[in-house]
Structure 1
Amino acid sequence: MTAQVMCLTSSGGIPLFTRKKGEINAMTFTKMASLNGVQMFLKSQNIKLINTLLPDMTVVWKEFADSITLITIASGTTKLVLDNFLNAVFNSMIFVAGIDEIKNPRNIEKLKKELRILTIFHLCNICSIKK
């Protein structure tokens, strides 16, 4: 299994962190911006983008607290597992930084620094995503 999770601000698409597990190429900023851009455009049209299935990958988008968008791309797993995984990632973010700082970040760079502690290995273990 390979997995990658990206965390961006919902309002501006500023990347807060990306993490990967397995033999997957690191997500470039342009690909990240494209995935977020599709979600932001559809949101402006009152359409909620939940997931998309590719032949070998699943992509899931989820917005939390009207301030954070999490996007995950993974192979060898289901949409339900990825949805639970994104919930676990967000709950881990709350544990590390606090909900007030996530909802209204005073300093994006400080928030990024606080979230460095989150690793995909620990996040995958939280959600029981195995190779």
Structure 2
Amino acid sequence: MKTFLFRSTFGIFFGAFLAILLTYSVIFLDDQTTLNSNLFVKNSLGAIFCGWLFSVSPLYFEIQSLKLYQQTALHFFTVMILYFILAYGIGWIPGGFMNILLFIVIALVSYTIIWTGFYLHFKNEAKKMNEDLQHIR
């Protein structure tokens, strides 16, 4: 529970920080003098929720009673379904079949690349630790 609360707090603050950075970039790079307050609140809350979602959902990988494919499936479906609902509802994904299909393709490719990167990283770390253990004997 302590880990969940820590990650939730971290994710919420990271999402809020990211929302502010994106707002600043719109103001300074697009030379905006005014902002739509409803749009700012909607996008900020979306970024905060995303920060929370993406910081808490990896906790599936810490449940030792689940196999890796179960952890991955739970994580994938949780992240993809909740993010899609959020992004489509806010307007980050425009309506239309082709836009939804494009989101699905980009999400699958991105998830696969990121998951593979983490898998190879932790596999390499385990290999290094096993080699270090062999030298202890």
- What is the TM-score when the length of structure 1 is the normalising length? 0.27
**Largest Rg, 1 or 2:** 2
**Greater strand proportion:** 1
Which structure has more helix as a fraction of its residues?
A: 2
TM-score by length of 2: 0.26
